[in-house]
């Protein structure tokens, strides 16, 4: 569905993403966790062809059989909404305050699928129903400020799903919501992905939310994926020192901490341009080896479909 | 703070609304026909039959002022409307495409700014003869760069907002995003600017008509009344004072209204209040 190879995103000389490889099969649900600034949003945007103008990207991307490597804006526009769609962190900010939400959701239907006004309207009501919006007819005519946070996010999910995308990228879709609302939204995303056979990229700070939503998890640090694998494997036997740090520092999973932030690991994330050329985690790593700062660790298998990028792995300890 | 800001708005409205009402009334009724000459009754002092007296040709001054207000408002409306729409379109274009398109539009706007309306009006008058429509074109022309700048600045801010990102993620193109999402969200600063430019346009029309480059006789115009009254300054100074006052009230009124509108719609100020 998505095949990304060696994606690197630069702002000037600073690398916001470095050598990201990612594959996503139909219906697969991948969670992405990492501290603020680790490049999660950049990864999502690069899969939409929506990186800021200042960013330079290299690497190959195939989406649903189409090679998007170096694609022009027009080719990206043609696959957005129909193949990949994205929802954002702040549902209020992501809706035009001056448009009725129904009209906002109608736009891509009219534009891409050439629906008539009536057909588009009927489809929007159906989408509202599907995403669990109560009283769709009334909601259709309301403005964003008249809806609750959860309803707004459901409207945005409707917008993203309007043209039946094969992949949905959700960039921290629950961060701005109350705990119980967040839970309902993550469950909704899982249900929609299952019903539609749609792949889901679920970006979050929140390990518990990822554990609940995704089958696989990718841990990002400093613009790289440092460890990835099935959720239970990564959480029960983390191999990368950064992942271990994350899990050690947090209370037991499912202990009522639905919305906890990633715990603090000693030190702070260095600025992007100050990251080591070798392992991005060197400098903060408790088990650092002498060559860590200068040599980049390769990703190695540590279990079934589970791999991590650390010089400690496979080396004599 | 809040009361102070609202004062501009209310003062402006208090000056502007009666003027608009009077202009509207004059369309269907004026005390006297403004083309009616009554030379036997020239320079009549104010009286119950002629509230503001009569001029050098015996025309009713109150009726002239009323009809002239229609002229001023229409010119301002048409000129700001034309120049404003063109300017807003250029600004939106610049903002939507960025890069060299934006640079080009903004350089042109700088050029337009440097070009005085009066000079343009004189050029038009030389080429096509002085007329009210040439004055309107000249005033419209100076409005283009003003609105291009305001629209582009406001639009650039809206382009960075999340709902535009969401629209992009939904595969919408620049044109759709511009009309559905950018334009409605820059309406407030555009309306504020239009109100202020209205004041400028009324003053410009008066100046051009005063110089004989605008409204031609017998169309009543404050600017022309002023220039005609000039030669009679010692005989009947009030004939210059009345149109002068009208110009001041209109310019001040729209200026205050524009400032007041800006004050109440400026999001930076709004945040302080919330
Ligand atoms: N326009 C830009 N110019 C330079 N650097 C940028 C720009 N936009 C983002 N970055 C950098 O890219 C890096 C990755 O940012 P990104 O937004 O992907 O992080 P994130 O993991 O999504 O964080 P958060 O959890 O806060 O959303 C950050 O270090 C950020 O400073
Ligand atoms: S490569 Fe070295 S610095 Fe990086 S995580 Fe492994 S041990 Fe730590
Ligand atoms: Mg982010």
Q: What pLDDT digit, counting tens, does each position of A277-307 carry? A: 899 998 888 888 999 999 999 999 999 999 9
Written as six digits, the tokens of B221 are 């115009």
Written as six digits, the tokens of A306 are 């589970």
Alpha helix stretches (DSSP H) within chain B: 2-28, 61-97, 99-114, 117-128, 132-159, 162-169, 174-176, 183-185, 187-210, 222-230, 238-265, 267-273
A277 assigned to some structural domain:
no
Q: Which of A277, A285, A300 to mutate to test the pocket of ligand 2 (most atoms within 8 A of CB)?
A: A285
Q: What angle do CA B143, B148, B153 make, to 5 degrees?
A: 135
Provide the CATH topology of domain B2-273: MetI-like fold (1.10.3720)
What total number of domains does chain A contain?
A: 1
Residues facing A230 on adjacent strands: A216
Query: Is B181 within 8 Å of A93 when comparing Cβ atoms?
Result: no
Chain A residue nearest residue B158, CA to CA: A96
B162 touches chain A (CB under 8 A): yes
A152 assigned to some structural domain:
no
Backbone angle region of A49, left / alpha / beta, with phi > 0 → left and psi within -120 to 50 → alpha: left
Residue from A190, A196, A246, A191 nearest A218 by CA = A246
Residues of B with Cβ-Cβ distance to A78 under 8 angstroms: 171
At A194-238, the pLDDT tens digits run: 999 999 999 998 888 999 999 999 999 999 999 999 999 999 999
Question: What gap in Å lies between CA B29 and CA A30, rounded to an integer?
Answer: 75
Query: Is B162 within 8 Å of A99 when comparing Cβ atoms?
Result: no
Q: Which of A20, A32, A34, A41 to mutate to test the pocket of ligand 1 (most atoms within 8 A of CB)?
A: A41
Written as six digits, the tokens of A215 are 């089958």
> Quick check: ipTM above 0.90?
no
Contact B199, B205 (CB under 8 A): no
Cα B93 versus chain centre, distance: 24
Half-sphere exposure of B238 (CA within 13 A, CB side): 12
- Ligand 2, atom nearest to A242 Cα: 5
Report, as ranges of residue numbers, the positions in chain B whose pLDDT lies below 70. 1-5, 266-274
CB atoms within 10 A of CB A97: 13
Residue entry with tokens 């409307």: B81
A173 assigned to some structural domain:
yes
At A146-177, the pLDDT tens digits run: 999 999 999 999 999 999 999 999 999 998 88
Question: What gap in Å lies between CA B173 and CA B179, rounded to an integer?
Answer: 10
A49 assigned to some structural domain:
yes
A164 touches chain B (CB under 8 A): no
Instruction: Find the domain containing A217 and state its range.
Output: 2-83+165-239
Mean of pLDDT values over A86-114 = 93
A126 assigned to some structural domain:
no
DSSP A243: H
A219 assigned to some structural domain:
yes
B1 touches chain A (CB under 8 A): no
Mean of pLDDT values over A43-60 = 92
- Which ligand is nearest the CA of A271, by number? 1
A288 assigned to some structural domain:
no
Mean of pLDDT values over A45-53 = 92
Q: Omega of the bond prior to B87 within 30 degrees of 0, cis?
A: no
Can you give the CATH number for the domain in which A235 is found? 3.40.50.300
What pLDDT score was predicted for residue B164? 95
Mean of pLDDT values over A100-113 = 93
pTM metric for this prediction: 0.84
B98 touches chain A (CB under 8 A): yes
Contact B243, B222 (CB under 8 A): yes
- Which ligand is nearest the CA of A293, by number? 2
Domain boundaries, chain B: 2-273
Question: What gap in Å lies between CA B89 and CA B60, rounded to an integer?
Answer: 44
Question: What gap in Å lies between CA A281 and CA A245, rounded to an integer?
Answer: 11
Written as six digits, the tokens of A286 are 């408790």
Question: What gap in Å lies between CA B47 and CA A90, rounded to an integer?
Answer: 68
End-to-end C-alpha distance for chain B, whole angstroms: 13
- Average pLDDT in chain A: 89
Residue from B70, B60, B58 nearest B26 by CA = B70
């Amino acid at each position: 569905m998505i095949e990304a190879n060696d994606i690197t995103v630069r702002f000037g000389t600073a690398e916001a993403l470095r050598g990201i490889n990612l594959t996503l099969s139909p219906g697969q649900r991948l969670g992405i966790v990492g501290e603020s600034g680790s490049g999660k949003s950049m990864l999502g945007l690069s899969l939409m062809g929506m990186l800021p103008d200042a960013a330079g990207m290299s690497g190959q991307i195939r989406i649903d059989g189409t090679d998007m490597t170096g694609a022009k804006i027009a080719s990206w526009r043609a696959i957005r909404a129909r193949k990949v769609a994205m929802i954002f962190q702040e549902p209020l900010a992501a809706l035009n305050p001056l448009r009725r939400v129904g009209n906002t959701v109608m736009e891509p239907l009219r534009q891409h699928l050439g629906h008539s006004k009536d057909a588009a309207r009927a489809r929007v009501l159906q989408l509202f129903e599907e995403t669990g919006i109560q009283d769709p007819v009334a909601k259709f005519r309301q403005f964003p400020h008249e809806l609750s946070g959860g309803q707004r996010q459901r409207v945005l999910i409707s917008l993203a799903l309007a043209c039946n995308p094969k992949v949905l990228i959700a960039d921290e879709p629950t961060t701005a919501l109350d705990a119980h609302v967040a839970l309902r939204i993550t469950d909704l995303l899982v249900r929609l992905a299952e019903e539609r056979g749609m792949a889901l990229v679920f970006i979050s700070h929140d390990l518990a939310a990822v554990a609940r939503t995704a089958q696989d998890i990718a841990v990002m640090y400093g613009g790289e994926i440092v460890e990835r694998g099935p959720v239970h494997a990564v959480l029960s036997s983390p191999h990368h020192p950064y992942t271990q740090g994350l899990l050690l520092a947090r209370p037991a999973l499912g202990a009522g901490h639905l919305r906890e932030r990633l715990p603090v690991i000693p030190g702070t994330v260095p600025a992007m341009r100050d990251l080591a050329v070798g392992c991005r985690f060197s400098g903060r790593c408790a088990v650092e080896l002498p060559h860590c700062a200068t040599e980049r660790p390769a990703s190695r298998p540590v279990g079934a479909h589970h791999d991590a990028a650390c010089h400690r792995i496979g080396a004599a300890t | 703070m809040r009361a102070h800001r609202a004062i501009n708005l209310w003062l402006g409205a208090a000056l502007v609304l009666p003027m608009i009402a009077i202009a509207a009334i004059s369309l269907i009724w004026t005390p006297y026909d403004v083309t009616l000459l009554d030379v036997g009754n020239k320079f009549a002092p104010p009286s119950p039959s002629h509230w503001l007296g009569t001029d050098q040709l015996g025309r009713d001054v109150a009726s002239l002022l009323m009809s002239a207000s229609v002229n001023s408002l229409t010119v301002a409306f048409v000129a700001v409307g034309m120049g404003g729409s063109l300017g807003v379109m250029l600004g939106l274009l610049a903002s939507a495409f960025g890069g060299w398109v934006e640079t080009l539009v903004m350089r042109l706007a700088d050029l337009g700014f440097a070009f005085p309306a009066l000079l343009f009006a004189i050029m038009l008058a030389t080429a096509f003869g002085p007329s009210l429509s040439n004055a309107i074109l000249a005033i419209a022309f100076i409005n283009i760069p003003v609105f291009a700048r305001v629209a582009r600045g406001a639009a650039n801010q809206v382009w960075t907002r999340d709902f535009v990102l969401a629209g992009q993620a939904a595969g919408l193109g620049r044109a759709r995003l511009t009309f559905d999402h950018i334009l409605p969200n820059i309406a407030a600063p555009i309306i504020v600017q239009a109100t202020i430019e209205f004041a400028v346009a009324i003053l410009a029309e008066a100046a051009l008509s005063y110089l004989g480059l605008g409204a031609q006789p017998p169309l009543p115009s404050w600017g022309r009344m002023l220039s005609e009254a000039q030669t009679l300054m010692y005989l009947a100074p009030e004939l210059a004072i009345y149109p002068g006052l009208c110009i001041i009230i209109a310019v001040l009124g729209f200026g205050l209204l524009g400032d007041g509108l800006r004050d109440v719609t400026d999001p930076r100020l709004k945040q302080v209040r919330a």
